[in-house]
Chains A and B, each alone.
Chain A
Amino acid sequence: MADQTMEKHTIIAWVEDKPGVLYRIAGLFSRRNFNIESLSVAQTEEPGVSRMTFVTIGTARDMRQVHTQLNKQINVLRIEDVTDNPSIDRELALLKVKAVSENRHEVVQLAELHKASVVDVTIDSLVVQIVARPDLVQSLVDNLSHFEIIEMVRTGSVSMNRSYRRKAGE
């Protein structure tokens, strides 16, 4: 049944910026046994409103539950599943990679091929920064894991719907 297929979903929640709101949302996910692959939270253009971007995995039915349970939270203002929307999805990652003189050039080249940049250099390591679609970030991580990744931090995905573009003559 199509309903049983596990799929990755990106969900945006606009929430009131009140103490404990993250606690409420994170608690809800664990209590209801929903997975969170990544979660990113920060303020928005509107004072007092925070925006959370979740990446979660589940069936269509799970997603309806995620949606309705989140919506039931008093401090949640709005929920949108943007998975199928034309949207801009971005993630930032910093990777500290072991790089000595023999392989430093190879690491730098890989970073460049991924449109990533090197933001810190020591005698035996590099820090690579990438801002890209989450799947491209993953691709860089996969490639750099052939070298030794000493430390990694990822922000999780954030997402914004694209505006409707008028065609010529419209």
Chain B
Amino acid sequence: MGKTVTGAQIVWEALVAEGVDVCFGMPGGAILPVYDALAKYEYPVKHVLVTHEQGASHMADGYGRTTGRPGVCIATSGPGAINLMTGLATANMDSVPIVAITGQVPNILLGRDGFQEADILGVSLPITKHNYLVTDIKDLGQAIKEAFYIARSGRPGPVLVDVTKDVQNTVLEDFDYDAIEIDLPGYDPTMSAADAASIARAAKLLNEAERPIIISGQGTSLAKAEAELRELAEKAQIPVATSLLGIGTFPTTHPLSISWGGMHGDAHCNYAIQDCDVLLAVGARLDDRLTGAFDTFAPKAKIVHIDLDPSEVGKNLIIDTPVVGDALLTLRELIPQVESNEHPAWIDQINEWRGETAERDILSQERDDLNAPYVCQQLWHLTNEGDCTVVTDVGQHQMWEAQYFKHTKRRSLLTSGGLGTMGYALPAAIGAQFGAPDEEVWVMAGDGGFQMTMIEFKTLAEQNLPVKIALINNSFLGMVQQWQDVFYDKRYSGTPLKNPNFVQIADAYGIPGRIVTEKADVADAIREAQAYDGPYFLEFRVPAEHVYPMVPAGKSNADMIRRPTAATE
């Protein structure tokens, strides 16, 4: 015999049963019964009050990426739920498990444009993996159970459950969450290896290749196939690039690593992509930021694409050998069929390019002024060579972080790669710290994006989490300015920023901070932040400059613009 509960209680009963220890949210009229039930029945779920609902969805995202379990965010109807959408779209693009619970107006008011009503099912439909509108209490437990199941299984993603207020208030007898059976006849996330024939074709191509490379995406990490990827690469001596989200799936310090490719990837990586004869993509979407113009990507290569999601294979590129299956199980079957190999000429060629990349490197130029790449490099050194999680925002600092912080640990970079959501970093870092309380978590953000969600200083201070913040301040929307420099004749339309005194703002929330203007002070400032027991804010003042290389949007990776050398300046 089950319990007699209200709909509001069902929400918490479900969260507890799903093992949720923390959720991020903001109350409001249409979700009040749920909030009341939390206080009344003292469910063992920590509620983190956010400053703005966008923060809640990014926090759930940070938690989801760090733990691999669905992050939970809660909001009221109308504006509350709509404010979650940026975070849900971010998570949807980057395959992050989230369960969002939103209040909806009472059944009687549905469709009548009542106060704080919006069609949240409709709004969230194209930016979630799935969603539910629950208007009958009998469906509530089922919807939440399925939401968790869908969010975490297969290719993960955000699922939203919209619950009308009267469902929250209605009493249901004989409720038993454990007895609810998932009923999704159209959804089968069973993990399996790709079919044997396609794996054999992939192995044959790799065995015959003279200039092979691998591009590893986040799918490798979601499948927990990092060790298998490395085994394959080492066995056949195949250089490994990653996508931006694939950073951390292969140690950047490994001799076979060729960093990451695409618009701001390393030059030697893009040269290798453009010249390789077989390209094995593992769990990467091969999106336009990686490929450049689709028809110019890896023009000499036969492309093998391993992906769990059949809709990703052939979406952007014509794939010679589609291999649809789980990366882990597929690589396990592929490895024995791939012969040990050396490819010395190819690896020599790549190392020659690598040397040329290093010569043009910003850090090999003699510069006395403080610059963002130097900050990234120092942060890497001072975190025991990258033993921390970095959560970046979006823009130039994001690219520099990805270039100069040599990630070796799985899931040690959280970044909005697909949607490119400015304002992601601070709230996502808060969620990440809840997911990994013992981890050193760093925010790296630019002055533009950081201000979009800076209000979550309040949440950070209230929760007193030891999140450290490195703000890279060049007083510009730097990436946009870079485009204006290159494509718009240096007309800085809307990009110069008249910034506030950030350290004073942090101080107003009780968060200590420091401005760093000299290169010589960087290490000391980072150590100071690390030593502090709580959140700490560092502002690094840097000049406006460009991220190189740069592939103009819609152009081939072969057309990348390189950093001017002393000779070309």
Contact = CB atoms under 8 A, between A and B. Distances in A.
A69 interface: yes
B93 to A, nearest CB: 13
A164 interface: no
Given A27-B125, A68-B310, A71-B310, A77 B315 contact: no
Interface residues of B, number: 19
A16 to B, nearest CB: 6
A27 B121 CA distance: 12
Contacts of A27: 125-126
A74 B184 contact: yes
A105 interface: no
A23 B311 CA distance: 20
A72 to B, nearest CB: 5
Contacts of B121: 20, 23
A64 B314 contact: yes
A48 B466 CA distance: 52
Contacts of A8: none
A31 interface: yes
B122 interface: yes
The bracket for how many chain A residues form the interface is 20 to 34
B370 to A, nearest CB: 44
Nearest to A3: B318
Contact of A73 (B185, B186, B313): B186
Contacts of A74: 129-130, 150, 184, 186-187
Nearest to B122: A23
Interface string B298-321: 000000000001110111001000
Contacts of B313: 68
B309 A72 contact: yes
Interface string A56-72: 00000100110011011
Given A20-B121, A23-B125, A31-B126, A77 B186 contact: yes
Contacts of A64: 314
Interface in A37-91: 61, 64-65, 68-69, 71-78
Residue from A3, A24, A78 having most chain B Cβ neighbours under 10 A: A24
A72 B185 contact: no
B202 interface: no
A20 B318 CA distance: 33
A65 B315 contact: yes
Contact of A15 (B122, B133, B186, B318): B186
Interface string A16-30: 100110011001000
Contacts of A73: 186
A3 B317 CA distance: 13
Interface of B: 121-122, 125-126, 129-130, 133, 150, 184-187, 309-311, 313-315, 318
Interface of A: 3, 15-16, 19-20, 23-24, 27, 31, 61, 64-65, 68-69, 71-78
8 contacts: A23-B121, A23-B125, A24-B125, A31-B126, A61-B318, A65-B314, A68-B311, A74-B130
